[in-house]
Chain A
Amino acid sequence: QKEVEQDPGPLSVPEGAIVSLNCTYSNSAFQYFMWYRQYSRKGPELLMYTYSSGNKEDGRFTAQVDKSSKYISLFIRDSQPSDSATYLCAMSERQGAQKLVFGQGTRLTINP
């Protein structure tokens, strides 16, 4: 079993829809949770960074962490065609962790 599981999609939704992307994990020691966005032919770039359980909002994006269920989500409101990308979740046990554990990535397409 992978430490982090993410539905690879692809996921296709109409413009303006609310998008929910999710990851589950098995390591209860994970405390830091990240979402990276990767456009086609580009490297991943950090989108959201959260610590422990709770919600964090940044514009149209909300990251949610439920440590009791070992489940994290990224919500995109009023989705735009420019949000079309692959979204990868990543996790670590501590702030100075040697490495991150990434999910498989979900490919998202927002249709105009």
Chain B
Amino acid sequence: DADVTQTPRNRITKTGKRIMLECSQTKGHDRMYWYRQDPGLGLRLIYYSFDVKDINKGEISDGYSVSRQAQAKFSLSLESAIPNQTALYFCATGAENIQYFGAGTRLSVL
């Protein structure tokens, strides 16, 4: 089984819909991250969390929210999806400078 599991792997939704991306990890690390990846822009940090009670905005948090339900679970929500949120989304966990990534969720907003 993967150390970091993201669901769903692919999702197509319509503008204005609420959608949640889920992430769970079995590495036992406290730190969890959500990134989005766009061609030519690399990985950009959306939100990160160092424990269940600690949530921090990244560089592109507008339009997104997160929930840290447990040490091993960190979900990302798009309250009202818009087309420019079409991207590949990655969850990661880690300690120190080493991060372990999930396989990604490919999201299309029509």
* Size of B's binding interface in residues, CB under 8 A: 24
Name 30 A/B residue pairs within 8 A (Cβ), A-sorted. A32-B97, A34-B97, A41-B103, A42-B103, A42-B104, A43-B92, A43-B103, A43-B104, A44-B99, A44-B101, A45-B100, A45-B101, A46-B99, A46-B100, A49-B98, A88-B43, A90-B97, A92-B97, A95-B97, A98-B48, A99-B33, A99-B45, A99-B58, A100-B99, A102-B42, A104-B40, A104-B41, A104-B42, A105-B42, A105-B43
**Contact of A84 with B by CB under 8 A:** no
| Residues of chain A at the chain B interface (Cβ within 8 Å) | 6, 8, 32, 34, 41-46, 49, 88, 90, 92, 95-100, 102-105
Determine the chain A residues whose CB is within 8 A of the CB of B48 once the complex forms.
Answer: 98-99
**Contact of B80 with A by CB under 8 A:** no
The distance from the CB of A78 to the nearest CB of chain B, in whole angstroms, is: 27
Determine the chain B residues whose CB is within 8 A of the CB of A41 once the complex forms.
Answer: 103-104
A46 touches B4 (CB 8 A): no
A42 to B9, CA, bound (A): 11
A103 touches B42 (CB 8 A): yes
Question: Given A42-B103, A43-B90, A44-B43, is A98 in contact with B56 using a C-beta cutoff of 8 Å?
Answer: yes
Determine the chain B residues whose CB is within 8 A of the CB of A99 once the complex forms.
Answer: 33, 45, 48, 58
**Contact of B62 with A by CB under 8 A:** no
Determine the chain A residues whose CB is within 8 A of the CB of B50 once the complex forms.
Answer: 98
Determine the chain A residues whose CB is within 8 A of the CB of B97 once the complex forms.
Answer: 32, 34, 49, 90, 92, 95, 97, 100
Question: Given A98-B48, A98-B56, A99-B48, is A43 in contact with B42 using a C-beta cutoff of 8 Å?
Answer: no
A60 to B5, CA, bound (A): 30
The distance from the CB of B1 to the nearest CB of chain A, in whole angstroms, is: 15
Determine the chain B residues whose CB is within 8 A of the CB of A43 once the complex forms.
Answer: 4, 90, 92, 101-104
